[in-house]
């Protein structure tokens, strides 16, 4: 009886440990755009803040436009095992272990358009952030 309790507690501790996701501090986010990009900023400062753009084009007036387009997906899965210690009959029948699992997924899209003047400084910028 004591062995079953020790094994049950050990398994509960072992199964309840969970790792954390690594921090992605170099990820382009809406907050980084709002806090690091401003009108009059040079192209080199924009590259230092956001990295290289995905697309470089020119608009109808001949102004250079940089497009940053990022899509990210977060998948989360969890599972748990529970022991029904309060039911002594389940200790011997194998019914003392219950498990559940769940998963979720979400996607984010961030598009940033930065227009530069003839001196290669930020003239204007817009962004669109979607979460689905």
- Kindly report, residue by residue over 89-104, the tens digit of the pLDDT: 655 665 555 556 777 8
How many domains, the chain? 1
At 22, is the pLDDT very low, low, confident or very high (cuts 50, 70, 90)? very low
- 32 is a domain residue: yes
Which residue range forms the structural domain that includes residue 110? 2-15+27-131
- 126 is a domain residue: yes
Stretch among 10-19, 23-32, 101-110 having the lowest mean pLDDT = 10-19
Q: Whole-angstrom Cα distance, residue 123 to residue 116?
A: 5
Stretch among 34-38, 84-88, 116-120 having the lowest mean pLDDT = 84-88
Strand 97-116 versus strand 64-83 pairing type: antiparallel
Percent of the chain with pLDDT over 70: 61
- 20 is a domain residue: no
Side by side, which strands form the sheet with 122-131? 55-58, 64-83, 97-116, 122-131
- 22 is a domain residue: no
Higher pLDDT, 87 or 123: 123
Provide the 3-class DSSP secondary structure of residue 47.
helix
At 73, is the pLDDT very low, low, confident or very high (cuts 50, 70, 90)? confident
Higher pLDDT, 98 or 111: 111
Average pLDDT score over residue span 73-98:
62
């Amino acid at each position: 009886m004591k062995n079953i309790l020790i094994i049950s507690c050990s398994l509960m501790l072992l199964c309840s440990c969970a790792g954390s996701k690594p921090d992605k501090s170099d990820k382009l986010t809406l907050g980084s755009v709002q806090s690091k990009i401003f009108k009059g900023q040079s192209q080199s400062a924009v590259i230092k803040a956001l990295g290289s753009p995905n697309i470089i084009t020119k608009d109808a007036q001949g102004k250079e436009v940089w497009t940053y387009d990022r899509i990210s997906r977060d998948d989360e899965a969890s599972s748990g095992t529970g022991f029904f210690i309060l039911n002594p009959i389940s200790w011997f029948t194998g019914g003392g272990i219950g498990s559940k699992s769940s998963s979720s997924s979400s996607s984010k899209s961030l598009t940033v358009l930065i227009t530069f003047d003839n001196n290669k400084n930020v003239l204007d910028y817009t962004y669109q952030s979607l979460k689905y």
